[in-house]
Amino acid sequence: MSSDYEYSDEEIDDVFDDDEMDYQDDNGDDGMDMDDFKVVPKTTRKAYELEYDSLAQAAIEKLMEQDVEHIHGILGVDSGAAGLLLRHMSWNKERLIEKYMDNANKMLVAAGAIQPEPEVTRPSRRPTRKVTKRSPSPPKTAGPFVCSICFDDSSDLTPLALDCGHAACSGCWEAYITSKVRDEAEHTCRCMAEGCGLVAPDSFVRAAVDDEIYARFQELLVRHFVGCTPHLKFCPYPSCTNTVSCPAAASKVSLSTVVPTVSCGARGLASDPSLSQSQELVRQATGKEHKFCFGCMIDSDHRPVVCAVAALWLKKCRDDSETANWIKSNTKECPKCQSTIEKNGGCNHMTCKKCKHEFCWVCMGPWSEHGTAWYSCNRYDEKGGVDARDTQSKSRASLERYLHYYNRWANHEQSAKLALDMFAKTEKKMEEMQITSTLTWIEVQFMKKAVEELDKCRTTLKWTYAMAYYLAKGNQKDLYEDNQRDLERAVEDLSELLESPIEPENIPSLRQKVTDKTVYVQKRNQIVLEDTADGFLEGRWQWNATVDGFDEVGEA
């Protein structure tokens, strides 16, 4: 029995790429050496894809060391001072060099690398009173070291001091830096002496604290570096320390034409009980890296809609704007006192409880003018009057339009949240296939790949409805919705296939159908993403609401 969609072996291999699937046999060992079967990645990048790199913390520390060495070589300062200068200037090397060349001493003082030079007192031209000179106090004799913080004078104390010479015992320094790093999450540790602005360099911190606190200190430095570098961003997944570098998304201008979806590249992250997002469930089930948007605060893949439109949609779903729409659709305001009134009977003769004004619910005119001919208010005033029923119907139509797109958006979001159950059911079916047929564990992986592709497409479909809500009517929107419809139909067909019962005699046929439709679904998903991305680059999309970075058009 043939499938509705048949593809060549090359197209199927493109979807079922071996380097994206981690197979294990029943004993937990690798079923085969997948490196022998890896397909050489294509160099052509799709319109909706951006080039990015996933970097571990060690790689970020290496970048920081390179910047420090760069400043050390150009300015001639030691590495400790170079690091303090870079942190003071938020790791902007060009700006640092420019300001250092203008006034080196001022920059070093501001960064906490050196003490300010004492001010030279100029002689005053005004007459001064004669001051009786007192004999200077005798210098203090050298004695045992006394800590200026805890006033301990034990003989076994180890004094530590920065270049300023304000010494304190090693215990006080350790407690001070530990509190700064662990409790305050602060990487700038100034001298403990009052009024002293020197900052402890990395070498001093390393000597003063233990390995755990210094590791935390290094992590804070990395976070400061990443936060100051536009093309770097931390993975928002809990417990993940990877950083993503995406230079193409560093400019806010590019965010109006591309959706910078990236992944951290880390696998096997620990789960977070407080995280209830569907992406976390799917990532844990599939062992894949965490995907997120580099350009905004949305912690998920929101392609094909750009960041500004996605944020606008989420805000609309969160706030009470639809409560106001319901009020507009079901209530009216008293023509006299503007009190909100809800009709609770069939009679159109309304009396405001607040001001006792009597009016007609249909035309909102005074009831005294109706008499026995109140039904004449069904006529539209051709002279430019506004029918109250028309205003209410527009409000109701606006609400129904919003609910149309929201219900479909929420439906796909709910389906994504149930992805974990789908993965669990699919694994059971894969085991059943092994028992009732001659297929191996490697050969039944087509089911897992189908579920993964299904989840990706549901995420795409979810956000297509958010974009469709803001698209203005026209040919472009019609074509967009045609692609949306084809993808949704393909997704439902594949979902129905995956949920069908397993019958031993139909396993070969089911495998062929699922494989072909998985390829078809992926192709339809690519068409939607590519066409939408091309539309942003070409400026084809017209909007029915004001979105940051886009032109305002009329209401759809």
Residues designated catalytic: 347
Rg, C-alpha atoms of the chain: 35
- CA separation for the pair 231, 262 (Å, rounded): 12
Tokens of 465: 């409805």
Query: Which H/E stretch holds residue 129?
Result: none
Using N-to-C axis directions, what is the helix angle for 388-417 and 445-470, rounded to 10°? 160
Using N-to-C axis directions, what is the helix angle for 445-470 and 507-538, rounded to 10°? 30
Interior angle at CA 255, CA 250 and CA 261, nearest 5: 80
Can the peptide bond before residue 304 be classed as cis, meaning omega within 30 degrees of 0? yes
Eight-state DSSP code of residue 184? S
Beta bridge partners of residue 351, listed in sequence order: 358
Residue 40's closest CA among 12, 13, 21, 22? 13
* Cβ–Cβ under 8 Å, residues 289 and 263: yes
Q: C-alpha 46: how far from its chain's center?
A: 22
Q: What size, in residues, is the chain?
A: 556
* Cβ–Cβ under 8 Å, residues 269 and 290: yes
Q: What are phi and psi of 199, to 5 degrees?
A: -110, 135
- CA separation for the pair 64, 79 (Å, rounded): 11
Residue recorded with tokens 């230079």: 247
